[in-house]
Structure 1
Amino acid sequence: MLALDHISKSYGPRRVLDDVTWHVERGELLGYVGGNGAGKTTSMRITLGVATADTGTVTLDGQPVDDAVRARMGYMPEERGLYATMQLHAQLRFFAELRGVERRAAARSADAWLDRLGLAERRHHRLEDLSLGNQQRVQLAAALVHSPDVLVLDEPFSGLDPLAVDVMAQILREEADRGVPVVFSSHQLDLVERICDRVAVLAGGRVVAVGSVAELTGDEGDRHLVRADGAPGWLAELAQRAPALHATVRPQGDPGDPAGAVTLRAAEDALPLVVDVVRRHGVLRELRPWRPSLTDVYRDVVGATVDPADQTDQTDDHRNREERAA
């Protein structure tokens, strides 16, 4: 198990991480999500030893992570850390040898990953000659070429087409299945929801939610979506009567929509009363079970007002300014 325990980090007056704690079990995929400046990149760099925490510990299977352990980790940075003019096969072999892999074994591993990622015919091409998506594939291969014991990936799906996303998702699942703790950050919350075992949500340098998707979305089977004409009238009465119904009412979408919708958490035996309220004010168009998506949960816990897919982690900007000032 890879664990971050009570990690805090400041750059000057700015507290980037504030008592961050999460873990990822062996054989598990952890999705790490958060908005601008949330601190995802900084916490990943601390995990890899690229940055140093002010307080807290990073452990693997209960033991402090030292340089020897970090040499067995695979890291994929958001900003590519490869050599633009170096041929792909030579580059991957070089990275494997840096991690202690014997030369011939490193060459075989480089061949295997280039083949798996659809780049075998370009093994002698320079990195700069590839598209950005294919460069992303090479970056993944560089993280995997030495058969790491841990995988830490920062925005690995960025810039990939849907087919490449599927290939990368399958590879990460296979790595987890062989017992590797895998943690990756992403703004593609639908993808995180689909492939991850657990999710950690970071906001303002703090972990504000962590758990399985079912735990985070509260999938107890008592939520419903109600849509009807005449929204202002029935919505007002439904909200007024909600406490007596032991229900929770939340508007969805534009409150001014004449066919507006609300989500309702209520027991099954309260639904007839809900129907009565709605029909007194309009025409019931839809009543069905509803489960919030991870995006819904994210917006709730983070309080975001923008599409998470449009957000980027700006933590590196804060770090770089500090480094330039030093």
Structure 2
Amino acid sequence: MLEIRGLTKTFGSMVAVDDESFTIQPGEIMGLIGQNGAGKTTTFRMILNFITPDHGDILWDGHSLTSEDYDILGYLPEERGLYSKMRINDQIAYFAQLRGMKVRDVNAQLDQWFKRFDVKGKKTDKLKDLSKGNQQKIQLITTLIHMPKLIILDEPFSGLDPVNASLLQDGINMMRDSGACIIYSSHDMANVEALSDKLIMLKNGKTVLNGTVDEIRNSYGRIKLFIESNLTRDELTSFDGVIDVKHEGNRFELMLKSPEVGQEIFVAATKNGYIPEFSQQAPTLDEIFRMKVGEADA
């Protein structure tokens, strides 16, 4: 279990991370979201002991991380860091040895890992001869081949097409099923919503969202409404508490100030009987992200 307590880091007068706390259980995936500069990478670098926090504790299974604990850690940095002129199998073996693996064990597993991520290339190819997407897959194999118990992925989906992103997601789920604690950052809110058991959002270093995806979405209530009826755009806009109206084909998408506004609209829309669609939902994570980014700081 990874436990973060009151983590704080400043650089001069800038507070990069401000009193951050969270827990990741074995077999759990946490998404860390926020705008550029929100404090995500700083959080990762403190966990990795690249930089020292000003305050707070970083605990693994109840104790501070030791040098031995870092052998069970897998880290995928945002800036990829493999050697372009080195053969793929040699550098995977090199990094795996740093985590305590034997070269023969690495070589015995490479075919399986290449197949899992559908790598287009040979194990003896140099990294520079692979496409950018396949280079990223090699970096991921290097991160995971020693089956780490704590995995940190900084923007792992950056630059991947949907097919390769799905392969990566399958790999992350495989590691979760093996009991790993996983934390990753992403700007793709649909991806975070689909993959994460819980999430944290940072804004200017402060935690502004913390919980499961369902808890966070449901906390906003069913303020998103899809409706297909005889009501016009002007009529829908005229209801008190309607914040925004969008027209999508034969239906409208509304954003409401509160879920109760939907009751009034439902009564008006159904006064003459049946309507094809009326659906109230919680906002998506992407919409919540935009709301939080747009809020003025306290």
**Shift of the alpha carbon at 1:224?**
5.1
1:297-322 C-alpha deviation (Å, 9 max, x unpaired): 111222279xxxxxxxxxxxxxxxxx
Task: Pick the aligned partner of 1:287 from 278, 290, 294.
Answer: 278
Q: Which amino acid aligns with 2:94?
A: F
Change (3 A) 1:304 1:223: closer
Q: How does 1:245-284 map to 2 (within 5 A)?
A: 249-252=242-245, 261-263=254-256, 265-266=258-259, 271=263, 273-275=264-266
**Who is 2:53 aligned against?**
53
What is the number of equivalent residue pairs in this alignment? 287
**Shift of the alpha carbon at 1:250?**
3.3
**Shift of the alpha carbon at 1:133?**
0.8
Q: Which amino acid aligns with 2:186?
A: S
The question of whether the paired residues in 1 share the 8 Å contact of 2:120 and 2:134 is answered with no
SS in structure 1 of the partner of residue 146 of structure 2: coil
Once residues 234 and 164 of structure 1 are traced to their aligned partners in structure 2, the CA distance between those partners, rounded to angstroms, is: 42
**Who is 1:12 aligned against?**
12
Change (3 A) 1:107 1:237: closer
Change (3 A) 1:116 1:266: closer
**Who is 1:229 aligned against?**
232
**TM superposition score normalised by structure 2:** 0.86
Q: Name which of structure 1's ranges 105-114 and 75-84 shifts more when overlaid on structure 2.
A: 105-114
**Who is 1:145 aligned against?**
145
**Who is 2:127 aligned against?**
127
Q: Name which of structure 1's ranges 289-298 and 104-113 shifts more when overlaid on structure 2.
A: 104-113
Change (3 A) 1:195 1:237: closer
**Who is 1:296 aligned against?**
287
Gapped regions of structure 2 (runs ≥ 5): none
1:72-117 C-alpha deviation (Å, 9 max, x unpaired): 1000001001111111111101111111112211322344323322
**Who is 2:189 aligned against?**
189
Once residues 34 and 221 of structure 2 are traced to their aligned partners in structure 1, the CA distance between those partners, rounded to angstroms, is: 27
Once residues 246 and 39 of structure 2 are traced to their aligned partners in structure 1, the CA distance between those partners, rounded to angstroms, is: 30
**Who is 2:93 aligned against?**
93
What value does the CA root-mean-square deviation take over the aligned residues? 2.8
Q: Which amino acid aligns with 2:265?
A: V
Change (3 A) 1:147 1:266: closer
Once residues 143 and 258 of structure 2 are traced to their aligned partners in structure 1, the CA distance between those partners, rounded to angstroms, is: 44
Q: Name which of structure 1's ranges 175-184 and 214-223 shifts more when overlaid on structure 2.
A: 214-223
Q: Which amino acid aligns with 1:301?
A: K
**TM superposition score normalised by structure 1:** 0.79
Change (3 A) 1:252 1:33: farther
**Shift of the alpha carbon at 1:229?**
1.7
Change (3 A) 1:81 1:121: closer
Once residues 153 and 195 of structure 2 are traced to their aligned partners in structure 1, the CA distance between those partners, rounded to angstroms, is: 15
**Bigger helix share:** 1
SS in structure 2 of the partner of residue 292 of structure 1: coil
Gapped regions of structure 1 (runs ≥ 5): 240-248, 306-326
Q: How does 1:111-126 map to 2 (within 5 A)?
A: 111-119=111-119, 121-126=121-126
User: Percent of counterpart pairs with the same letter?
Assistant: 31
The question of whether the paired residues in 1 share the 8 Å contact of 2:189 and 2:285 is answered with yes
**Shift of the alpha carbon at 1:25?**
1.2
